[in-house]
Structure 1
Amino acid sequence: MKTLKLSLIFAGAMMSASAFAQDLTGTWLQIDDKTGSSKAVIEIRKDSKDQFIGKIVKVTPRPGYTPQKSCNGCPAPYTNQPILGMDVLTGLKHVEGTNNYEKGKVIDPLAGKIYDAKVRLAANGKRLTLRGYIGVSALGRSQTWIRQD
């Protein structure tokens, strides 16, 4: 009986930790992988298809940098779209039983390029690592985002 109680407590703890870890929704501070400074605030939400979407809700000013207002040189449907309010992360799907998310797309509105994207959420749910790549993940770059809410 004692073993059964311990098993139920452990299973409950694992399910609640797993449920928390699966939640990317919220507000995240995007950190530039080259400079270490903040670039933007991204709000991640889940759509009707259980896919995650990230929208720029604030562009973070940086010393010596004049923020770009629109997505110049970007492919449709992003062509000349304002960066503020743009969905920069789309189609991200949770990998069942893990803290990983795959099959997404991320756009770099400053370069006008779209990359495949995957995300790993830290066990505490306060940081995520977004990997943008073309074709093979090993040929990409990673950014850290910090939860703001």
Structure 2
Amino acid sequence: MTINTFKCLLSFALLGAASCFAQMTPVGTWHTIDDNTGEAKAEIQIVDKGGVLSGRVVKSLRNDPNARKTCDDCKDDRKGQDIIGMEIIRGVKPEPLTEHLWAGGGKILDPENGKDYTVKMVPKEGGKKLQVRGYMGPFYRTQTWLRQP
């Protein structure tokens, strides 16, 4: 193998590794999965604003005409708002002592019941999946979301 071939292969390997690490963040578009049916439920867009993550419901993926359209049970400024377009993730920051853990006291809202949970998010499988865990005291619920292109 020539030195130029080796350099070329090394460059491709480093570019591939860099793109893999770039996905180890919650920033992006995700499909939430229904706990009961296993089907995609909603599309969430997570963005980074100055090192703090927030996320909005950008569309519903359900065909249920009886699905809730507004968050009537919400207790804060989101009460009565349309679920589509609603910010359901607020104040999530990277944890400085744990690689690929995003929490920082951030919150996630379940617009179906109006409850706000402390959230922790961990990208999995090279960033293809996102483990989202909402806590209320010692109790928690975990979902796995799927990254969309």
Structure 1: 5+ residue stretches without partners: 1-8
| 1:100–1:18 CA distance, 2 compared to 1 (3 A) | farther
Specify the SS of the correspondent of 1:147.
Answer: strand
Specify the SS of the correspondent of 1:140.
Answer: strand
Alpha-carbon shift at residue 90 of structure 1 (Å): 1.0
Tell me, yes or no, if structure 1 residue 140 matches structure 2 residue 140. yes
Q: Distance in 1 between matches of 2:33 and 2:27?
A: 18
Residue in 2 that maps onto 1:67: 67
Q: Match for 2:131 among 129, 132, 139?
A: 129
Contact between 1:21 and 1:125, CA under 8 Å: does it hold in 2? yes
Contact between 2:33 and 2:143, CA under 8 Å: does it hold in 1? yes
Contact between 1:100 and 1:120, CA under 8 Å: does it hold in 2? yes
Specify the SS of the correspondent of 1:116.
Answer: strand
Specify the SS of the correspondent of 2:113.
Answer: coil
Alpha-carbon shift at residue 21 of structure 1 (Å): 4.5
Tell me, yes or no, if structure 1 residue 87 matches structure 2 residue 69. no
AA of the residue aligned to 2:142: S
Alpha-carbon shift at residue 22 of structure 1 (Å): 4.1
Contact between 2:93 and 2:106, CA under 8 Å: does it hold in 1? yes
Per-residue CA deviation, residues 12-58 of structure 1 (Å, 9 max, x unaligned), is 78x8378425432111000122321111000000112x111110000
Contact between 2:117 and 2:134, CA under 8 Å: does it hold in 1? yes
Tell me, yes or no, if structure 1 residue 46 matches structure 2 residue 41. no
Percent of paired sites with the same residue = 34
Contact between 2:20 and 2:126, CA under 8 Å: does it hold in 1? no
Residue in 2 that maps onto 1:6: none
TM-score by length of 1: 0.80
AA of the residue aligned to 1:114: D
Structure 2: 5+ residue stretches without partners: 1-9
TM-score by length of 2: 0.80
Matches within 5 A, 1:92-111: 92-96=92-96, 98-102=99-103, 103-111=105-113
Q: Distance in 2 between matches of 1:19 and 1:148?
A: 17
AA of the residue aligned to 2:61: T
| 1:144–1:28 CA distance, 2 compared to 1 (3 A) | same
